[in-house]
Amino acid sequence: MNVAGQVTLRGRLHIDEPLAKHTSWRLGGPADRYYVPADLDDLQVFLASLEADVDVLWIGLGSNLLVRDGGIRGAVIAPLGALDRIEQRGAGRVYVECGVSCAKLAKFCNKQGLAGGDFFAGIPGTVGGALAMNAGAFGGETWRAVERVIMIDRDGRLTERGAGEFEIGYRQVDGPQREWFVAAEFGFAERADGEASNIRELLRRRNETQPIGQPSCGSVFKNPPGDHAARLIEAAGLKGHCLGSACVSDKHANFIISSADTTAADVEALIGFVRERVRERFGVELETEVRIVGETA
């Protein structure tokens, strides 16, 4: 990294940082470089200082992510708690940086009397991750409310883009390559008189049906068209099934639970086993929602 004598970084740089400390499965080998930027300006400086051949990975709350046991060769950027601006800009418009948790966005919308943002309370990640995958919960999806985004490229340059510049699908967002979301402006309707937030009810339903409090990544597989991954996995007899100490949740079959002695290799093997069993029983090819990154040990 060309830093000495040329640029001054104000964020925190960690070398060989264990990513098990930063993922919701509590798994993953070390990152060569793990950077927590001081703010957006500092992030621009950091990206511009990296050699061209250094790969970049972003981690928010570490959900929806399986980091293999060999870790990450390259640089990991961690905006959580750093890129955390959230503010209302005009009627119904909310500007949010990528390090803000989705739960915080839901609470902000509720406090401002805005409707349509409650579902964000059910997404266990940051706004940056939600933008990258069109995350959703309780029938809501992130990009239904996006009006514009701010992107940053590999050289630290910022570009504003409209929502129409992206192709959006179920848990899929296609747009410019080698650019990442650093902020977005959402448009929400103002809540009608007497209309109450249903955040508490949504969270109650989530707690009743999902293994909250146990190490998981959230939903492992995308729902196939016209069906639910959890239904197929349970119908294949895999609810509660374990490989090593990685287990399909006995509460929700689309969750895989880890424990203190679980390895990322255990989880990846169980993911493969579930896909194979569902394919054999039902002829359905489950697609992973979780991203699998890094090197094997």
Burial 144-167 (b: 16+ CB within 10 A, else e): ebbebbbbbbbebeeeebebeebe
What whole-number distance in Å separates Cα of residue 37 and Cα of residue 212? 30
Rg (CA), the chain: 20
Angle, helices 102-111 vs 199-209, to 10°: value is: 150
The CB density around residue 125, as the number of other CB atoms within 10 Å, is 24
Known catalytic residues are 171, 219, 289
211-293 domain in CATH 3.40.462.10? Answer: no
Mind listing the pLDDT tens digit for each residue in 255-287? 999 999 999 999 999 999 999 999 999 999 999
pLDDT for residue 3 is more than 70: no
Domain extents in the chain: 12-77, 86-190, 211-293
Please compute the mean of the pLDDT values over residues 171-178 and round it to a whole number.
93
Closest CA to 161 of 145, 184, 187: 184
Q: What is the mean pLDDT of the chain?
A: 94
141-168 residue pLDDT tens: 999 999 999 999 999 999 999 999 999 9
Cα–Cα distance measured from residue 268 to residue 210, given in angstroms and rounded to the nearest whole number: 21
Decide which of 123 and 193 is more confident: 123
Q: Where are the beta strands (DSSP E) in 188-244?
A: 189-190, 242-243
User: Residue 43 above 90 pLDDT?
Assistant: yes
- The torsion angle over the Cα atoms of residues 66, 59, 170 and 184, rounded to 10 degrees, is 180
Q: What is the pLDDT of residue 5?
A: 43
Q: Considering the domain 12-77 in this protein, what is its CATH number?
A: 3.30.43.10
The residues pairing with 179 across neighbouring beta strands, listed in sequence order, are: 153
Banded model confidence at residue 6, pLDDT cuts 50, 70, 90: low
Instruction: List strand residue ranges (DSSP E) for 20-143, in order.
Output: 30-36, 56-58, 65-67, 72-77, 86-88, 93-97, 114-115, 136-137, 140-141
For residues 48-76, give the mean pLDDT.
96
187 phi/psi in degrees, rounded to 5: -115, 120
What is 86-190's CATH number, 3.90.1580.10, 3.30.465.10, 1.10.3470.10, 3.40.50.720? 3.30.465.10
Q: What is the pLDDT of residues 195-252, one digit of tens each?
A: 778 898 889 988 999 999 999 999 999 999 999 999 999 999 999 999 999 999 999 9
Residues 33-42, buried b or exposed e (16+ Cβ, 10 A)?
bbbbbeebeb
Q: Is the dihedral of CA 155, 175, 56, 11 positive or negative?
A: positive
- Closest CA relative to residue 218, chosen from 117, 110, 122, 107: 122
